[in-house]
């Protein structure tokens, strides 16, 4: 195994440990055992736990989803806004697409970061969420100008963040083997309801929702 491949393998093995235990509680001995290497070899690739954690942060913020890149190329509009909201709610409520890091691992990393120094959470926002929320904000402004969204007291920037927060809470409630909250809905129905809730909260009109929010067509677009 090359040095780069070995480093990547160590990062992947360390991810679930940091996600479930947090930075402070995870030891290099545990990481070495999970990686199948000795501690001296671990230190050969990473000077210490902080260096390993920084590499995990970088790895977690890589954008490996071609659908997300495709969404970034769509012209700002009410239709694109619906696609963006559907994408983010689908990712958070259903955990799709899985990508290189499972969504439950990402959520646990985020939660543990918020309980500690917040470094990982801030980095994730700056490198991933900020860009995505910026796209939602631009589409909201376009939709408001086109009469598809009613302007409210909530700024477009915060409306994008609040949408993310709704999805995150649903995801967090489903982290335990037995969900903490029973929404009394199938996965598809929960996705539909959460998207409707977010769009209405953003101020999208009933007419615009009926026009642009077609769950079946969106499922085909995202190849579910």
* 56 and 70 share one domain: no
Per 3-state DSSP, the chain is made up of helix, strand and coil in percentages (nearest 5) of 70, 0, 25
Which tokens go with 32? Answer: 């070495």
CATH number at residue 31: 1.10.10.60
Range(s) of the domain holding residue 86 = 66-221
* 55 and 72 share one domain: no
CB atoms within 10 A of CB 184: 7
How far apart are alpha carbons 137 and 139 in whole angstroms?
Answer: 5
Q: Is the pLDDT of residue 224 over 60?
A: no
Tens digits of residue pLDDT in 43-72: 999 998 888 888 887 777 665 667 777 787
Give, as one character, the DSSP assignment of residue 118: -
* 87 and 185 share one domain: yes
User: Residue 109: exposed, middle, or buried by beta-carbon count in 10 A (0-12, 13-18, 19+)?
Assistant: buried
**Total-model pTM:** 0.84
* 150 and 52 share one domain: no
* 173 and 79 share one domain: yes
Q: Are 52 and 31 in contact (CB under 8 A)?
A: yes
* 141 and 188 share one domain: yes
* 110 and 214 share one domain: yes
Tens digits of residue pLDDT in 127-142: 778 888 999 999 999 9
DSSP of 139-183: HHHHHHHTTSB---SS-HHHHHHHHHHHHHHHHHHTSSSS-SS--
* 138 and 169 share one domain: yes
How far apart are alpha carbons 60 and 68 in whole angstroms?
Answer: 15
* 213 and 113 share one domain: yes
CB atoms within 10 A of CB 214: 14
**Rounded average pLDDT over 12-22:** 87
The total number of structural domains in the chain stands at 2
**Rounded average pLDDT over 149-155:** 95
Q: Peptide bond before 44: cis, by omega within 30 degrees of 0?
A: no
Tens digits of residue pLDDT in 94-104: 988 877 778 88
* 91 and 14 share one domain: no
* 139 and 202 share one domain: yes
Which tokens go with 97? Answer: 């697409």
């Amino acid at each position: 195994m090359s040095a780069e491949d070995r480093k990547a393998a160590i990062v992947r093995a360390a991810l679930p440990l940091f996600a479930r235990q947090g930075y402070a509680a995870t030891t290099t001995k545990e990481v070495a055992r999970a990686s199948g290497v000795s501690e001296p070899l671990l230190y050969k690739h990473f000077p210490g736990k902080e260096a390993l954690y920084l590499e995990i942060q970088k790895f977690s913020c890589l954008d490996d989803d071609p659908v997300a890149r495709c969404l970034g190329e769509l012209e700002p509009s009410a239709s694109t806004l619906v696609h963006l909201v559907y994408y983010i709610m689908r990712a958070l409520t259903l955990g799709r697409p899985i990508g290189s890091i499972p969504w439950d691992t990402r959520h646990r990393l985020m939660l543990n970061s918020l309980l500690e120094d917040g470094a990982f959470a801030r980095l994730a926002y700056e490198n991933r969420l900020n860009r995505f929320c910026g796209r939602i904000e631009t589409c909201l402004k376009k939709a408001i100008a086109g009469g598809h969204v009613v302007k409210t007291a909530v700024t477009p920037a915060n409306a994008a963040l609040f949408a993310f927060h709704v999805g995150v809470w649903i995801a967090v409630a489903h982290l335990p083997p037995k969900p903490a909250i029973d929404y009394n809905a199938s996965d598809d129905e929960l996705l539909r309801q959460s998207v409707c809730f977010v769009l209405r909260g953003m101020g999208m009109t009933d007419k615009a929702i009926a026009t642009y929010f077609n769950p079946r067509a969106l499922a085909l677009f995202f190849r579910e």
